[in-house]
Amino acid sequence: MKNILKYILLFLILSFSSCKEEFTPEIIDFQTALVVEANISDNLEIQSIKLSKTMRLEEEEPLIEDNAEITVLSNDGENHQFSQGTNGVYYSNTAFSAKPDVYYSLLIETSDGKVYQSSEVKLPEEAMLTNVYAEKITKNDVEGIQVYADSKGSANNGTYFRYQYEETYEIESPYYSGFEASLKNIIQFGETYDVEVTLGNEIGEGRICYSSNFSHGINQITTSNLAENLAEAVPIRFIDGKDPIIRERFSIKVIQYTESPEAYSFYKILNDLGSSESIFSQNQPGAIQGNIYNTANSEDLVIGYFDVALKESKRIFFNHEDFNIPTPAYFYDCETITYDYKDNLPVPFDGDLNERQALYEALKNNEYEIVPEQTEEELIYTIVRTECANCTSFSSKTKPEFWID
């Protein structure tokens, strides 16, 4: 779940005018609620829990719940403390994993002394993420690559799956040159704009980069209404064949959570109410009920669900050539511009652009860079916008540890 704050409309009472007239929702009442995003897995890892508050529609920045004390309790006596990180995320002080047949609950004490606790939950029955793969398809008249997942449950009465993904893609600067341009002998209102070109970093910094994106929204499925306890060809991610993220090598890690029927129902209602068709329906706040409550005041609103889930992931790599898809365009328009450094006469004298000054203006704010086609001997310089020559201007040069070329 990316962020429960997008569903704060559940806690607003809206007034509607006639369907024949344009209307503006009027907020009659607003009540602040604690928002809890808490999912503990069976993986041995640093677990995380996010706390925030509901915000008004006109507010843009999320409201973070700071300085809370968080503990995950278990009936086997192993309790786990959390410490606050950044952006409202709290991390467990040590790595731990949820164990089978152990009941867990969440305890939160906020800085204003309010205490919240969840009901007890435990891991569901065992399940597997059996396969992750990609196929070339046409979706809504758009040719692209569809990533699928296959899952298998063991519960007799069906299994409940929720999916997320992390994608990482390689970026290669189409005009990387290794040249660096520096300006000297600058006279602010004069005509001297000297350009010095030197060979750049020998290891090619700025030529290859890597960026990552994370899934949004809620994607889940249940096998409870299927003949077999199998979830096959579950659509995870569709990538337009013209999307530049597949211009070079692409990788996606699909993460599967096997959750309880109660958690599945909570997320399903949350997802349904967040759709464009139903977000403005007259659902009352009581229409969705989590498993976290204020121990001293049952009327205190809390949004969220504490869940303990099985977590499994698989990663795949592919290139667009693997699916016979043409190379997508780059992320930016990379039209080159060529200037003659020798041309330094103002327009009134020769009737055309002062190219030396134009070169200076383009280079001084690092918005453009020299490209390999430049011929320094003749003082003719070809430039292109920096994003096309040095991908570190919008991405990271750090190669992920998991990356396979």
> Tell me: the pLDDT tens digits for 256-308?
999 999 999 999 988 887 644 433 333 334 446 789 999 999 888 888 899 99
C-alpha dihedral sign at 31, 32, 34, 35: positive
Which helix (H) or strand (E) segment holds residue 262: the answer is helix 261-273
Bridge partner list, 118 = 292
How far is 205 from 313, CA to CA, in rounded Å?
Answer: 32
How far is 262 from 268, CA to CA, in rounded Å?
Answer: 10
Whether residue 207 contacts residue 173, with contact meaning beta carbons closer than 8 Å, is answered with yes
What's residue 56's pLDDT? 59
**Average pLDDT rounded to a whole number, residues 185-189:** 57
How far is 5 from 13, CA to CA, in rounded Å?
Answer: 16
Residue 337 Cα distances to 224, 340, 368, 383, angstroms = 61, 10, 10, 5
What's residue 369's pLDDT? 87
Residue 17 Cα distances to 20, 25, 26, 361, 379, angstroms = 8, 9, 10, 55, 69
Which tokens hold the place of 161? 């799956």
Going across the sheet that includes 380-385, the strands are 337-340, 380-385, 368-370
Per-residue pLDDT at 361 exceeds 90:
no
What are the φ/ψ torsions at residue 386 (nearest 5 degrees)? Answer: -55, -35
b/e map 205-225, b = 16+ CB within 10 Å: ebbbbbeeeebeebbbbbbee
Whether residue 200 contacts residue 140, with contact meaning beta carbons closer than 8 Å, is answered with no
Beta strands 179-184 and 194-199, pairing class: antiparallel
Tokens 């508050």 correspond to 53
Per-residue pLDDT at 193 exceeds 70:
no
Per-residue pLDDT at 10 exceeds 50:
no
**Average pLDDT rounded to a whole number, residues 205-215:** 93
Tokens 């005509």 correspond to 191
Which helix (H) or strand (E) segment holds residue 368: the answer is strand 368-370
60 band by pLDDT with thresholds 50, 70 and 90: low
How far is 163 from 254, CA to CA, in rounded Å?
Answer: 7
Note the pLDDT tens digit of each residue in 76-90.
999 999 999 998 999
Q: Which of 7-11, 66-70, 102-106, 128-132 has the lowest mean pLDDT?
A: 7-11
pTM of the model: 0.83
What's residue 191's pLDDT? 59
Beta strands 63-64 and 89-92, pairing class: unpaired
Whether residue 369 contacts residue 181, with contact meaning beta carbons closer than 8 Å, is answered with yes
Query: Which residues are CB-contacts of 336 (< 8 A; sequence separation ≥ 6)?
Result: 175, 371, 373, 382, 383, 384
